[in-house]
Amino acid sequence: MEKEQKKNKNYLQAAMLFLMIIVFPGGSWIYMNLGYNRSKTALAELQDYGHLPAFQLIGIKGSVDSSLVNGQMTLVAFVNPTLAETASRMEVLETLHRQFDERNDFKLLIHLPETTDLTNFQKKYKLEDDRQIYAVKGSTQTLGSLITNTYKTPDLPAAREPGSSVNFQTNTTADPNNYPYYILIDEKGKIRNYYHADRKADIERMVEHIALILPRDIEGDPRLRRDREL
């Protein structure tokens, strides 16, 4: 497990490094020749797959609803603390939080089983920033309905073609306790793409997409915080 966590952290760090030295330096020759085409392809992958659903769930301080993330770019995750894969998946979310910690317009919305102790969960994974991270819980039926009626279950091939659209599984029973996908929602509430939580290429694609469509903030720009540990 420790080796798997280290591997996930390494490839997420590599993705962040690529963004800083290739995609972000807008005036460089490398960017003009490589970054532009890559960014254009990545933008084509950000499509409209529906809208953030209205929800009523339980947060640390009580009942919460979808107004929590209105007008904010949000990464949605469904996490089951009992799964063996949870530690490595949470490492990805923790790293994203550190990288975009200065941003008030980027949120992590983490759905958990209703039996979860939210306070202990956030403390365990160092995600206690209630300004950027929202851990919410609900019944299997409630969370399953969010997936079935809005988020859907993507059918993501192991090797996704650059610029390709997302297809969805049919005749599949939604299981919020085993939903290994991150969902990116923009500030207008549109679902823009899906990423398999256990695949290196998908995580790299997700990081690039976030950086491309997150509104530019010079002071809090992750490009300017190279001394921060990923």
Whether the predicted pLDDT of 195 surpasses 60: yes
CATH domain 2-156+167-224 topology: Glutaredoxin (3.40.30)
* CA–CA distance, 202 with 193 (Å, rounded to integer): 10
Residue 27 CA: distances (Å) to CA of 21, 30, 31, 36: 11, 9, 7, 11
Q: Please write the tens of the pLDDT for every residue from 138-187.
A: 999 999 999 999 999 999 999 999 999 999 998 888 899 999 999 999 99
Domain boundaries, the chain: 2-156+167-224
* CA–CA distance, 210 with 8 (Å, rounded to integer): 18
Whether the predicted pLDDT of 211 surpasses 70: yes
* pLDDT confidence band for 103 (50 / 70 / 90): confident
Q: Please write the tens of the pLDDT for every residue from 37-58.
A: 777 888 899 999 999 999 999 9
Q: Please write the tens of the pLDDT for every residue from 3-48.
A: 555 555 566 666 665 555 444 444 444 444 446 677 788 889 999 9
Burial class (CB in 10 A: 0-12, 13-18, 19+), 54: exposed
